[in-house]
Amino acid sequence: MTRALLCVPLLLLACSSGKPPRDFPERFAWGAAVAGFQVDMGCPTLPAEQCEDRRSDWYEFVTTSELPDTNGYVARDPLSRGPGFWELYEQDLTRAKDELHLGSVRLSLEWSRLFPTATDALEGYEALRAAADPDALAGYHRIFAAMKARGLSPLVTLNHYTLPTWLHDGVGCHKSLANCTRRGWLDKERAVREISKYAGFAAREFGGEVDTWATLNEPFAVVLSGYIFPGEERANPPAVTLQYEAARTAMLAMIEAHARMYDAVHAADTADADGDGAAAQVGLVYAMAPAKPKDPASALDVRGAKQLFYVFNTAFLDAVCKGELDEALSGRPTRREALAGRMDYLGVNYYTRLTVAGAEEPQFAALSSMTAFNPVTLSLWEDYPRGLYEMALHVKERYGLPIIVTENGTVDPKDDGTGESFLTRHVAALADAVREGADVRGYYWWTLIDNYEWNHGMGMRFGLYGVDPADPSKARTARRTVSSYARIIDAAQ
């Protein structure tokens, strides 16, 4: 096919630079992403107790009436307004294949759905299987079978933010971090031990259906929005403010958890689901963002942007990608062999770039040096496609790892072309990175269907397909991005 033919009208932006996205490698995974908590609930006919997973910290966080001081930033949308993927997955997967022409869907297992009660006393696959919820096991096997039947390969995130309530009392810890008893990531040893067991169990149970695994989703977002700057943009339980020591513990716990989950998945998943010779590819999903000084002429802003880039992107990723752990965020990491070599690919979530206005003294002596970034303007949702190119090349140069763009997307509630333009320009930027040698293996749009957007409830719509939360049937409506994404995929293949 000639280059000119590939320049179908909706690709004009990509083609205007003479660079259509056909440079993507042959086995490139074109996909869309969802996450369990955000899409499963809200089933039209299944009884709520079968559809809703009520045992996660997030469920409690968005449904409790006991968090007066988070008023304003927890939408309190009932989960019944969700899109009901747990029941409607067949039709969503059919659309993913037939209308979008996707090759893959990224989804997450919900730890609390599989293990509604504590697993501390259990050892080994058989004991864990006896304790796992049979409906959850059957439900996930059905979803994977439906994917296989349609030729869709799964990318499975083991932990997309939510923790079981037996491990984390997000509401209690919000009220009193010092006195709560189930402290989630702050109970570092327990959290790492139990999540690794769960990861090993899932890898054995579903290894015959899944080859690509992600351990954690955006761990640094959990640190920032959980323990430092919870706010309207994002508030993760326990949503406490400026708790630097706790933030540091949570960060170290998640770094350790990734490495141990990586080991557990590789040990347990020996089945090659797609016959390509590899039983498991295990990575971590990280939200990456370039940081720009608000005023490039201000030395303070320039220094602030560099510092923010280090804390936001580099410190965590150096630990999980290179085994260089900067425990105190001092800028002087030490080598930890037990962390090194445990990343088969890096999942990059890319949405925007950060703007930094001002920095005080650059002290990385503790996570409390985050105060050095105040005032920081986290100008989220800046539409900056070039950042995807910049991050892909940064990963290539610093880590030399394969990249999967595990999330990229925008809200497009009015279906006014915003989504199409965002998609086309970001794919073009990614194609530029591929041409410059970045080893990019996949691209997933966030999200397949309108989702429960954490503390915003159903108030932010990212879906390729719109879902009206008030419609009891939860019918899906294709947005214009569906046909433009399908054309991009067709042209690239």
User: In Å, how far are 44, 66, 95, 354 from 226, measured between CA atoms?
Assistant: 32, 17, 35, 19
Active-site annotation holds for 218: yes
Minimum Å distance from CB 289 to ligand BGC? Answer: 11
Amino acid at 433: A
Three-class HEC string of 214-278: EEEECHHHHHHHHHHCCCCCCCCCCCCCCCHHHHHHHHHHHHHHHHHHHHHHHHHCCCCCCCCCC
How remote is the C-alpha of 382 from its chain's centroid? 19
Nearer to ligand BGC, 331 or 413 (CB): 413
Nearer to ligand BGC, 108 or 368 (CB): 108
Quote the tokens at residue 306: 């560099």
Q: Which of 87, 110, 194, 218 is catalytic?
A: 218
Instruction: Give the separation between CA 76 and CA 60, rounded to whole angstroms.
Output: 10
Maximal C-alpha separation, the chain: 66
Minimum Å distance from CB 329 to ligand BGC? Answer: 22
Minimum Å distance from CB 462 to ligand BGC? Answer: 6
Which chain residues interact with ligand BGC by CB under 6 A?
Answer: 35, 38, 217-218, 221, 287, 349, 407, 446, 453
Pick the closest to residue 128 from 111, 143, 109, 108 (CA basis).
Answer: 111
CA angle 453, 389, 322 (to 5 degrees): 85
Minimum Å distance from CB 240 to ligand BGC? Answer: 19
Instruction: Give the separation between CA 447 and CA 160, rounded to whole angstroms.
Output: 14
Nearer to ligand BGC, 273 or 287 (CB): 287
- Show Cβ contacts of residue 176 under 8 Å, excluding neighbours closer than 6 positions: none
Q: Which of 52, 87, 407, 420 is catalytic?
A: 407
Minimum Å distance from CB 11 to ligand BGC? Answer: 25
Nearer to ligand BGC, 112 or 119 (CB): 112
Nearer to ligand BGC, 261 or 287 (CB): 287
Active-site annotation holds for 407: yes
Query: Would you please indicate which residues are annotated as catalytic (active-site) residues?
Result: 218, 407
